[in-house]
Amino acid sequence: MLDWWLPENVSTYGRDIDWLFHLIYYVTMVTAILVFVTLIVFLVMYRDRPGRRALYTHGNSTLEIVWTVVPALILVLLTFLSAPAWSRIKMQAPPPSDFQVRVIAKQFNFQIVYPGPDGKFDTEDDKTLLDEMHVPVNKIVHVHLQSQDVIHSFFVPQFRMKQDFVPGRTITQWFEATKPGKYELPCAELCGFGHSGMRGWIYVHTPEEYQKWAAENLQAAAAPAAGAGTRTAAADTTTGGDATR
């Protein structure tokens, strides 16, 4: 019912997040209606009228207990209902995946690092993009978040995903996009004077489109690095041979 005012959900766990949002919204809406109706009734019942003397009340212990216990029970219930989704998305180890990407946030952009054909970060075949991430649809993606300076936030509304970057830590989160498209990645944590312009884009491709993009941008970029490594090794061998002679 409320989906019309939310960004389109394109992630596997978005339905769970939306269900919790709707539940909290309805609880809040009912509470607000009860409070406003009670306020209006009291305004009418206890309005000033000629010849009516003011009355003083010292409260009602029963009512005070009720309106303290009932909200507390509602909060406890919401906690129990949200715990499974929170645990699955945030607390448990991410579902297994061979797709890894590192996101390094700094004032005021996102550096997206792919490990290259060797599957390892911090090697010569790593590929770094600025403010753009490319992933295949229906693929679990592990995102390793790091910050070079202050707290930033990785926020993709359509993925129902939000996680802060914390300096000095590597935080691993995951998502699985279910629809190809271009999705905005804004920083959702005030991080300095350029915060409002800090945003990137996540491109979700079909498997065929992603393979084409990866061949043109990841494997092609890794080939020169591998060639340079081979030439360096050959040069070292030649130098060693000369030294022996």
Residue 136, domain extent: 100-232
Say yes or no: 219 and 165 in one domain.
yes
Rounded CA gap, 95 and 232, in Å?
A: 39
Rounded CA gap, 55 and 45, in Å?
A: 13
* pLDDT over 50 (residue 245): no
Helix (H) or strand (E) holding 237: helix 220-244
Rounded CA gap, 165 and 186, in Å?
A: 13
Taken as a whole, the chain contains a residue count of: 245
**In the structure, what pLDDT confidence band is assigned to residue 235 with cuts at 50, 70 and 90?**
very low
* pLDDT over 90 (residue 100): yes
Q: Taking residues 59-68, report their average pLDDT.
A: 89
Last residue of a domain, one of 35, 66, 91: 91
- 105-150 residue pLDDT tens: 999 999 999 998 888 899 888 999 999 999 999 999 999 999 999 9
How high is the pLDDT of residue 239? 44
Say yes or no: 33 and 145 in one domain.
no
Say yes or no: 113 and 220 in one domain.
yes
Q: How many domains does the chain have?
A: 2
Whether 147 maps to a domain, the answer reads yes
Q: How far is CA 186 from CA 162, 197, 206, 227, in A?
A: 10, 8, 23, 37
